Amino acid sequence: MKQEINPKDTSRAEAFELWMKSPMPMVTLTKTFDVSRLYKVSRRSGLKFNMLLCWCIGKAASRIDEFYLLPQNGKLYKYDRLAINVIVNNCNGGINSCDVPDCEDLEKFNRDYTALTQSASSSCQSTFVDDAMVIGTSAMTATELESIVNQYTDQFCNPMVMWGRYRKKWLRVTLSISFQFHHVQMDGGHAALFLDELQKTISGLKMN
């Protein structure tokens, strides 16, 4: 469910006044993650690496209250659930996107992720979840990347998690991940906490 709330009744009141009308309100943090566990689970289970990472993103974000808030068109909204947006290469050589509802159950998330991404790829049609706070993702796995910066605009306010190809060296696999967020939604400390929670989630990932 999505509902408009009064910023003055939230912990984001001052941030709303400072940043809501900023022409460049987005902030980007980049961190190198140890994704060895994610890589191992993917190889042994046959589950897609990017699907597992998207599930970990949702799980880490769900622990942080600020992810359920989103500034849009001069207003502040609160949601009661999250979704992960995935960019898909379609059969016509273009791209589409699909919103995958966040879910604590990895098996269900995998089923939804697989069905929605396959449908977007074959039909060339995007699908959206309107009543969830959507976390964007973009995986540019054609090459290794140190950092990604998306559009700095007030036209797209959703948080965005972006990455390139992971790096393998000896027994360790690493991946640089960029996290972009609107300063009204959260401060740098909340973003840093999310990145820390994401690493813990990745490292604690278990195989069924």
- Sign of the torsion formed by the C-alpha atoms of 181, 77, 63 and 38: negative
Q: List per-residue pLDDT tens for the chain, 208 residues long.
A: 999 999 999 999 999 999 998 888 899 999 999 999 999 999 999 999 999 999 999 999 999 999 999 999 999 999 999 999 999 999 999 999 999 999 999 999 999 999 999 999 999 999 999 999 999 999 999 999 999 888 766 668 999 999 999 999 988 999 999 999 999 999 999 999 999 999 999 999 987 6
CATH class belonging to 2-203? alpha beta
pTM score of the predicted model:
0.96
